[in-house]
Amino acid sequence: QVQLVESGGGVVQPGGSLRLSCAASGFTFSSYGMHWVRQAPGKGLEWVAFIRYDGSNKYYADSVKGRFTISRDNSKNTLYLQMNSLRAEDTAVYYCAKDLSAGDASYYFDYWGQGTLVTVSS
Amino acid sequence: EIVLTQSPATLSLSPGERATLSCRASQSVSSYLAWYQQKPGQAPRLLIYDASNRATGIPARFSGSGSGTDFTLTISSLEPEDFAVYYCQQRSNWPPTFGPGTKVDIK
């Protein structure tokens, strides 16, 4: 069965950095685009970033562009999110999510991890 | 950016009743709309994609309809495990966006 397990969350000061990881299993990781989606406490869902199955294309929400970098290691079945210049408004649970479609992305999210909480506070 | 609005914000119903949730887009998204269910402390779960296609393993009591700007998620007969928050999401225009959610709670 598909499993996505995030790690790397925690408390960081404004301006600091954090790297999230998402370990994938139960499917052919190298065939699917992957996403990060976040949810601020008590709020709705916000798409953050996407990486193509082969890592050749990456897209970001305007709110994180230039500060966050999505990457993947298909040999380790792992997705990453490097977060720099963190702000209080980045405080959220960060989910990694698998794209519904193999190959070209559908931008629907059919499997999600359990999420990892990032708190930006002094 | 396409803005999705959902109504009502809260829907109070009893088990066995029919639930009808609405999602409206600020411009046409064709049929590129999904619905997700989220329970407290859990990740969202994909229910419906492309407006009316049930995702793998989703019970038949969940159905989606609509196109253009107006969409509906219907739960034909609420089970106890269906009380949750439901989000719609569009993928027609970049970036993908979500609605604010409808909470279905027990009356």
Q: What is the pLDDT of residues B11-20, one digit of tens each?
A: 999 999 999 9
pLDDT at A119: 98
Find the mean pLDDT for residues A100-117.
Answer: 96
Inter-chain CB proximity A108 and B43 less than 8 Å: no
Those residues of chain B whose CB sits closer than 8 Å to some CB in chain A are 34, 36, 42-46, 49, 55-56, 87, 89, 91, 94-101
CA dist A98 → A24, A81, A89, A106, B36 (Å): 9, 14, 25, 10, 14
What is the average pLDDT value for chain B, to the nearest integer? 97
Task: Specify the pairing of strand A109-112 against strand A45-51.
Answer: unpaired
| Strands (DSSP E) found in chain B | 4-7, 10-13, 19-25, 33-38, 45-49, 53-54, 62-67, 70-75, 85-90, 97-98, 102-106
pLDDT at B14: 96
Find the mean pLDDT for residues B79-98.
Answer: 97
Side chain identity, residue A116: T
pLDDT at B10: 97
pLDDT at B74: 98
* A102–chain B Cβ distance below 8 A for any pair: no
The percentage of chain A sitting over the pLDDT mark of 90, rounded to a whole number, equals 98
pLDDT at A56: 95
Find the mean pLDDT for residues A6-25.
Answer: 98
Segment 23-82 of chain A within 8 Å of chain B by CB: 44-47, 59, 61-62
Band of the pLDDT at B8, cuts 50, 70, 90?
Answer: very high
pLDDT at B32: 98
Work out the minimum CA distance from A30 to partner chain B, whole angstroms. 21
- Preferred mutation among B46, B53, B92, B102 to probe A, highest tally of A CBs within 10 A: B46
Gap between the Cα atoms of B88 and B38, Å rounded: 11
Band of the pLDDT at A31, cuts 50, 70, 90?
Answer: very high
pLDDT at A39: 98
Tokens 């089970």 correspond to B79
Find the mean pLDDT for residues B64-82.
Answer: 97
pLDDT at A43: 96
Find the mean pLDDT for residues B27-52.
Answer: 97
> Do A22 and A78 meet the contact criterion of CB atoms below 8 Å apart?
yes
Inter-chain CB proximity A45 and B45 less than 8 Å: no
Closest CB to A108: pick one of B43, B45, B49: B49
What is the average pLDDT value for chain A, to the nearest integer? 97
Find the mean pLDDT for residues A48-64.
Answer: 97
pLDDT at A13: 97
